[in-house]
Chains A and B, each alone.
Chain A
Amino acid sequence: MSDMILLGTRKGTVIFDRSHSSWRPRPIVHAGIPVCYAARDPRDGTLWASLDHGHWGPKLARSRDGGATWADVTSLKYPEGARYIVKYLPTPDFDPASPSARPEYADASAFKIWTIAFGAASQPGRLYAGTIPGGLFVSDDGGDSWELNRPLWNHESRGGDLFAGDATSENRWHGTPASIDYGVFEPGIHSILVDPRDADHVHVAVSTAGVIETTDGGRTWAARNRGVLNDYLPNPEAEWGHDPHFVTACPAQPDHLWQQNHCGVFYSNDAARSWKKVSMPDAGVNFGFPIAADAHDGRTAWVVPARADSERMAIEGGLFVARTSDGGQSWQVFRNGLPQENAYDIVLRHGLDVAGDRLCFGSTTGNVYVSEDRGESWQCLGNNFPPIYSVRFG
């Protein structure tokens, strides 16, 4: 089990170390800078943080000495000629009749580096980064240089190869509210799953498009949303337009994937070729953002449910974690150690993690809880942290 926890927060990176059976936070780093994701590369111990500068553009930061010193990495950039079809902000004064019938294009800039993922053990130096406006970046030199994955960027579901000219197909990727802070309404990649058995097999999840899979190292991509039901679309079984909030997989059984979607919890035991809705609304398990999968048993997962959709806070003022160990057929609810009145926390998509029997989550209210017994009881690590965007064991 890991003895390090990294928090990405509204005001910097917080690292906890565990010693003598207690967790202690170090002084905050990147103080004052929003950090939307922070994680440790298990292959070489490098720490990564995604800095969400309000003025200076998104930057990655890297520490190769366990967090003592950090250096910004500024090499993740969209290449010249990268364009996307503009979506429109769903503001109250938006007139859907006003945009031109023809697509409008924008030159791509990275607004947010939403997540970082590490390649398989067989690919040292391979890193992935998911961004708003929807580009997947790949590095093969430990993050010194990055390249946009063009087959996904040029996918027919996004209008085709816009490097070459105008759109040749309809853009089926929609915006994520997470992009509105940047004055745009564009999609984002927040989940990247590398199959430990086969480094060429990768799933990504996009808000708002769905789950997409490559089995040839990123040369071709295909939607994998069969069985995901989208309550708010005219056709709930549409191939595109789904809103996975977060997708993860069991490391030892990578064909077992879990998805906390806007419209419920979904489970796949066939590498996302099909999904099954396994929500249990009577137990409060339906809406939420994060989901964590057990390291060994593909049928076991945890969620931190919330009330949908306009409220987005703990249900009835009580915070709880739910666990299934039978592929979502049943869920157990655990409240021991968590506040059961006047709790208004929401846990964002990267705000829950598991390592062995340990779990940790952090909320936008700045509360951090850790469990040493597979989520059955919880201990508070602090109530006054900045709003928390990500929690990852190191």
Chain B
Amino acid sequence: MPVVQMTQHLYRFFPQLENRTITVPAGSVADVLRAVNDIAPGFTDYVLDEQGALRRHVMLSVNDTVVIDRKTLSDRVPDGGTVYIFQALSGG
């Protein structure tokens, strides 16, 4: 099953995700985020906008590949893969 790792900043809003291994069923990035939202209701409101697209300053990669489809989140997450969610850094 894929594993989800994320910036610790998100633990501030979703402490139930901290200090655990987050495993979810394989599928699309959208499926993975829905599964995390099931564990931590409201999670997708932080990483997705009203249209369900990744927020402008949120980065998401599957293993070491940054997702291509930021709008419908159709990139596939294979069994054993790792999804990383982190902030796009800007400024100095």
Contacts and interface: CB of A to CB of B under 8 A. Distances in A.
B59 to A, nearest CB: 9
A110 B55 CA distance: 11
A163 interface: no
A75 B8 CA distance: 23
B47 interface: yes
Given A54-B57, A55-B58, A183-B56, A72 B49 contact: no
Nearest to B46: A56
Interface string A69-97: 00010100110101000000000000000
A56 B47 contact: yes
A203 to B, nearest CB: 27
A74 B42 CA distance: 7
Interface of A is mostly: loop
A311 B56 CA distance: 31
A42 interface: no
B51 A109 contact: yes
Given A74-B45, A77-B50, A109-B49, A55 B88 contact: yes
A385 to B, nearest CB: 21
A134 to B, nearest CB: 15
Contact of A72 (B13, B55, B56, B57): B13
Contact of A57 (B9, B45, B87, B88): B45
Contacts of A74: 42, 45-46
A55 B42 contact: no
Interface string A97-127: 0000000000111100000000000000000
Query: In which size bucket is the chain A interface?
Result: 10 to 19
Interface in B40-83: 42, 45-47, 49-51, 55-58
B6 to A, nearest CB: 12
B50 A78 contact: yes
A154 B87 CA distance: 34
Interface string A144-172: 00000000000000000000000000000
Interface of A: 53-57, 59, 72, 74, 77-78, 80, 82, 107-110, 182-183
A-B complex: 10 closest residue pairs judged by Cβ atoms: A56-B46, A74-B45, A109-B49, A55-B57, A109-B50, A55-B87, A78-B50, A77-B50, A107-B51, A74-B42
24 contacts: A53-B46, A54-B57, A55-B9, A55-B55, A55-B57, A55-B58, A55-B87, A56-B55, A57-B49, A57-B55, A72-B13, A72-B42, A74-B45, A77-B45, A78-B50, A80-B50, A82-B50, A107-B50, A108-B50, A109-B49, A109-B50, A109-B51, A110-B50, A182-B56
